[in-house]
Amino acid sequence: MKALLILIALLAALPLHAESLQQQLEAKRREFAAKAPPERAAAYQAGIDAVAASGIYERAKKTGDRAPDFTLKNAAGKEVRLSALLAKGPVVLTWYRGGWCPYCNLALAALQEKLPEIQRLGATLVALTPELPEHAEDTTKKGALAFEVLSDVGNRVAREYGVVFKMTPEVAAAMRAGAKTNVRNGDESDELPLGAAYVIAPDGEITYAFLDADYRRRAEPARLVDALTALKTGRATPEHLLLTFWEGVWNPPYDLGLVDRLMTEDFVITSAGQDVVGREKFKEWIRGFQSKLGDLRMENREIFTGMEGKRVVSRWLATGRNRGLFGTAADGQPVEFTGLAVWEVRDGRLAHNWVERSAYELYRRLTSESGKEPQP
């Protein structure tokens, strides 16, 4: 009995689950929102919107593209070449804006925590920053980072990968005054990279990409590990297949090329009792949906796979701004709705999706008079 009580006490002391990186980033975002002057928060949000509208998602390298080779120096002045690292195994390549960025520091710490798993899978983790070597070295020491941190001065490599952007004048002025970005980066360009992340196979192909104009969002290190595991085993789990689809198609960079990589040729989606058959028709269906919902984000709340691995189920939340859903006025009002999806997995690809959404409830909210509760 005593041993049982001790075991119960030990289990009670354990955390139920580790906090994800995105949860940490969201906590930091809420902290900033609670303290920052409204005009500063508005300027930063306008900066994010400007980056998203700049065409950067179209320019950036994505899954299936070849990773441009490069040579950069680390803090010790040693040259590091991507192709030399790839000769040893896969590479996880990521960017951070600078040691002044609290979101970047959270992301770097989370990557450091996952470093043993990344290395066990035979991969090398490399982080690039536009900061001068002395500032990169300072970030490495403060974060006790045990992976390569390379200075991409002038964003030369970031430009080759298509992930560099110019800050809006308002954001640039704030960054110069507060973070001293022009001093730390050693230039007057007012350019920064996205907090992008790639998994690159030894042959140079990008097999996983994370791209987002919102600097408060970063790749979950666990997902990078999933991608490396799929690369090592030669077969993605049903969960990895589905999450890769959700992350890259229903979220930035909205890459419809993933449909060809992840779905069978005869893929079917069944929505509201209607079948959409084939990859090209599915892409058209996605484009139509995306055109009606601006700033679209879809977040998986729960996912699990059947015992035989032939079915995977997801519970999700979609958010965005109304651009005419259900024939309503494109008034830009915030939209949020939930859904359930059941997926068939066949031969390592997604073959069929049955989806149900809270469409009735959403329609009631969109068509209700302002300030009044919608009626059934």
DSSP 264-301: EEEEEEEETTEEEESHHHHHHHHHHHHHTEEEEEEEEE
Q: How confident is the model over 95-148, as pLDDT tens digits?
A: 999 999 999 999 999 999 999 999 999 999 999 999 999 999 999 999 999 999
pTM score, whole prediction = 0.91
Report the distance separating Cα 28 and Cα 320, nearest Å: 21
Q: Is the torsion defined by CA of 309, 313, 318, 323 positive or negative?
A: positive
Q: Which helix (H) or strand (E) holds 160?
A: helix 156-160
Query: Which DSSP string corresponds to 195-210?
Result: --EEEE-TTSBEEEEE
Radius of gyration of the chain (CA): 22
Q: How confident is the model over 204-229, as pLDDT tens digits?
A: 999 999 999 999 999 999 999 999 99
DSSP-based helix, strand, coil % in the chain, nearest 5: 40, 25, 30
Which domains are seen in the chain, by residue range?
A: 21-223 (3.40.30.10), 235-367 (3.10.450.50)
Report which residue type is found at 201: A
Which strands make up the sheet holding 334-346, listed edge to edge?
274-277, 263-271, 349-357, 334-346, 311-322, 293-305
For 122, phi then psi, to 5°, come to 80, 15
pLDDT at 359: 75
What is the residue-averaged pLDDT of the chain? 92
Q: Does a cis peptide bond (omega within 30 degrees of 0) precede residue 253? A: yes
The angle formed by the CA atoms of residues 73, 78 and 83, to the nearest 5 degrees, is 70
Mean per-residue pLDDT pooled into runs of 10, the chain (376 residues): 38 55 95 94 96 97 98 91 98 98 98 98 98 95 96 98 98 96 96 98 98 97 98 94 96 97 97 94 95 93 90 95 91 93 96 89 72 41
Q: Is the torsion defined by CA of 47, 64, 225, 132 positive or negative?
A: negative
